[in-house]
Amino acid sequence: MLRVSELFIYPIKSLGGIALPSAKITDRGFQYDRRWMLVDSANRFLTQREFPQMALLQVQLSDGLLTVQHKTKNTEMAVVPALSGRIQLATVQVWGDTCRVELVNPELDEWFSDMLSISCKLVYMPDSSKRRVDTRYATNKELTSLSDGYPFLIIGQSSLDDLNARLAEPVPMNRFRPNIVFTGADPYLEDIMEHFSINSTQFYGVKPCARCVITTIDQDSAGRSREPLKTLAAYRQKRNNVYFGQNLLHDGEGEMHVGDEIKIHQLQNAKLKS
């Protein structure tokens, strides 16, 4: 039986994630997931791809507030309101998309700039900002947050176990930044999970996740290496991309818990070589 084993959100894009026992499903993914983001002076999104030191900022969620603390610097934490009440708007860029966001707080901008040694601003995506997923994969004008492109990413624990069996040094799941991790299946079943449900919410696998250099960044030290991309490329490469995990669209809102059953309704015929 397939069951949800871990749930994660990443409230501030490309900073440390939060493991949850349960998560609320909204129209654009899990509640709070990637609703905040750091941007540069040109309002372009920032990620660990360019600035691996972003991994060292750990986010926590408690009593409706976000707190952020540097993992290695003994400094005061930053407190971010879970919902911004400000009305100063800006237009920012996430890959090829432009989004309307709220500027959060100049004092927080200074804190993040100091922690990362780069000039940046913190922005928030309000509910009124509607960002649609790639029309090539959308089926019903689905929304996403400030994610790279889709509201959910799912990975099977057995897939990571298979990868780690091929590595000299195993890597943790946080290298791949999933929202949903599950157990009870053969490795890489997520490749062909075309339609499944968790509780009352329907999920659809629409695009394998092409992996980038973030997977090579140690999330505790910000150090870089060649793995696991080098090993993944040997058996998970297709059309010059390396794939690990499945991007999802969904229909319906509700709540998901660790331990929930995953019911498969339809599998695809094609599967990446494993």
Give DSSP secondary structure letters for 26-83.
Answer: ETTEETTTT-EEEE-TT-BB--TTT-GGGGGEEEEEETTEEEEEESSS--PPEEEESS
Q: What angle do CA 28, 45, 69 make, to 5 degrees?
A: 85
Same domain, 170 and 260: yes
Same domain, 186 and 243: yes
What is the rounded CA–CA span in Å between residue 159 and residue 193?
Answer: 14
pLDDT at residue 230 is higher than 70: yes
- HSE, CB side, 13 Å, CA atoms: give it for residue 165: 8
- Give domain status of residue 272, yes or no: no
Do 213 and 230 meet the contact criterion of CB atoms below 8 Å apart?
A: no
- Give domain status of residue 41, yes or no: yes
Do 18 and 8 meet the contact criterion of CB atoms below 8 Å apart?
A: yes
Q: What angle do CA 68, 25, 84 make, to 5 degrees?
A: 40
Q: pLDDT, tens digit, for every residue of 234-257? A: 999 999 999 999 999 999 999 999
What is the rounded CA–CA span in Å between residue 94 and residue 239?
Answer: 24
What is the rounded CA–CA span in Å between residue 191 and residue 187?
Answer: 9
Q: Containing domain of residue 240, as a range?
A: 3-29+133-267
Count of beta carbons in the 10 Å neighbourhood of residue 70: 18
DSSP state of 249: E
Q: pTM for this one?
A: 0.95
Same domain, 14 and 93: no
- Give domain status of residue 58, yes or no: yes
Question: In 3-state terms, what secondary structure has residue 179?
Answer: coil
Same domain, 58 and 166: no
Q: pLDDT, tens digit, for every residue of 31-61? A: 999 999 999 999 999 999 999 999 999 999 9
Q: pLDDT, tens digit, for every residue of 122-163? A: 999 999 999 999 999 999 999 999 999 999 999 999 999 999
Count of beta carbons in the 10 Å neighbourhood of residue 269: 6
Domain stop point among 129, 160, 176 = 129
